[in-house]
Amino acid sequence: MTAGIVAVAASILSPSIQLSVEALRFCLQLSTAAIGASLFLFALFIRRIADDHRQIAESEQRFRRAMEDSAIGVAIVGLDGRIVQTNPAFAAMLGYSRTEIEALTFFQITHPDDLQLGRETMVALKEGKIDSFHFEKRYLKKDGTPVWAQLAGSVIREEETGRPLYLVSQIEDIDARKQAEARIAEAETRWNFALTSAGQGVWSLDMRKGGTTYSETWVRMLGYDDGELDGDPDRWLTMIHPDDRERVAEAERAHLADETAFFEAEFRMRHKDGRWIWILDRGKAIERDGEGRLIRAIGSLTDITERKQAEERLKVSAAMLADEKERLRVTLQSIGDAVICTDAANRITFMNPVAEKLTGVAAGEALGNVLCHVYWPVDEETGQRIGLTRPSAGDRQHCDQNTRAVLIRRDDTRCSIRQMVSPIMNDRNEFCGLVIVFQDFTDARALQRQLAYAAAHDALTGLANRSSFMRTMEELVDQCRLNGGEHQFMFVDLDHFKTVNDTGGHAAGDALLKRIAAAIRNVLGPEDIVARLGGDEFAVILKNGATAQAAIAARSIIDAIRNLNFSWDGRPHSIGASIGLAPIRADHGEVDEIIARADAACYAAKAAGRGCVSAAPDEVSKEEATSLLLAAAS
């Protein structure tokens, strides 16, 4: 085009430069050709530019569609960490919108523990040490939860200078894989820890790899170093105790012949130091060749030496326990006491012959039944059932004794028993049942009642004796002091009783005393207390009575004794009585003082002519009380 312009300019300027017509024509032709050629070249250039623009637009369209439609995240990141552009997959992976995430930097969405990794990668890219990168890191979602991702990307550089411009990264969500790997690692850790803690070793047979390998726990179990026993698949058989080899070989043969699902055997193996340890070996064939020959197998070995030793000890203990149990059974069968044992549910587990006899139920019928169907004890006085139940937690070592129990049999007959109930506790202090030991106490109980009655009653008259009467008096005096109230005390002394003894003898006197006791008892109420103090002296306590009422009651006693009409050997005897009265109140002193006052009043009645009643004065000085006590004592 430049040449054409020059030719046109020459034709215009030709008059001044005096060119010939031929030269001018040549210039015009030349310029026309140059312009035509330049126009053609320009058209080609414009078309090339258009093609380049179209290719760039198509490439950009493909990149945009690839970025937009990609299932994994894509991000363009500036060298300052700013996120220039991202695709929907990456925004969705972190829970952001594209607008929100493109306003952040990768530092803001990276887990704090992984920030240094990103910074180091960025520095290496800027310094030209690397052009691409590939690593795993954790991002933070919008809600703050971490998510594992795998990054792969490269740096885009300026063509002329090589200066880095930005980074293009592909981000794949691998959080599920990471969690699965963590679970697998945790399971493997637990598995290894469980095997080690349980003292279990693992062996693996692989004929393709040349034999058997053993875990570290396995070889240490036998005192060897790691790898020392690997290789020969038959070496372990040479380490088995000779007495156990045949049994182990048979178990192995049965498994290889598919007769058993697993190989399992307990045997002794020689430790490196020469001692024998017990081993539990479990294994399984997992691969065979076409002819059925073993290719791969795996199994575990457990040191069960302590268990075997414990079993031996248990065998010895069981034998000793069986002997002891037999001795105990023979003892319980032969002793004179009745014995019943129950379990924790209160069901009978044992019953000896004496218990069968006392309950009236055979052991065969009783075993397995609830205790109350066979053994029903009640309190002798109240008639209430005596419960035999599980003891409380703080009272499980206590033995309950009862000497006032009465056993009611099925036929409603009764038997006085003395029982002892003891809980059975195991070594963990758990309740396991009861042992009831009881005896027939009927005769002993009757004797006890007789002795108790004799200790508190006069043998001749059946009235309360002096000691029991004094105890009753003391109780009443204490009650008056605590609660108030008033009772009346009578001191009764017979008149002319000595004459009966002298003329009729002691037999006559005893007969008379019995009738007098009955006469006094008949005159009084059921709550009143009558006692014989000794000889011909009697005492009466009127419960809750005033002095006037006491005087009337005393007069009735005197009349009843006078009207007895007692005769002995055909000879009548006239008997009388003199009575002294004294109140029992809180302010009337001790028991001895009250008796002394009533005694003194009785002497006053005798002095007044006998056969009458005399009441002690309410107020007595200390000196008078002392003199009365001395007189009573004399």
**Residue 138 contacts residue 94 (beta carbons within 8 Å):** no
What CA–CA distance (Å, rounded) separates 323 from 209? Answer: 57
User: 552 with 525: CB under 8 angstroms?
Assistant: no
Rounded CA separation 145/141 (Å)? 5
Cα–Cα dist 372/350, whole Å: 14
CB atoms within 10 A of CB 198: 12
Residues belonging to the active site: 536
Q: Residues 451, 455, 461, CA angle at the centre, nearest 5°?
A: 105
DSSP 3-state of 271: coil
Kindly list the distances between the CA atom of residue 18 and the CA atoms of 25, 30, 311, in Å, as whole numbers in the listed order.
13, 19, 137
d(CA 349, CA 327): 17
Within 10 A of 340 (CB to CB), how many other CB atoms are there? Answer: 26
User: 3-class secondary structure for 177-215?
Assistant: HHHHHHHHHHHHHHHHHHHHHCCEEEEEEEHHHCEEEEC
Sheet holding 377-379, edge to edge: 348-351, 338-342, 431-440, 414-425, 400-408, 377-379
Widest pairwise Cα distance in the chain: 217
Cα–Cα distance, 379 to 383 (Å, whole number) = 5
Sheet of 487-495: strand order equals 529-534, 537-542, 487-495, 576-584, 613-615
CA distances from 485 to 475, 477, 545, 606 (A): 13, 10, 9, 30
User: What's the CA gap between 272 and 219, in Å, rounded?
Assistant: 10
Cα 179 from Cα 185, distance rounded (Å): 10
Q: How many CA atoms lie within 13 A of 516 on its CB side?
A: 28
- 591-607 helix and 466-483 helix, angle to the nearest 10 degrees: 110
> Which residue, 320, 325, 338, is CA-closest to 377?
338
- C-beta atoms surrounding 341 within 10 Å: 19
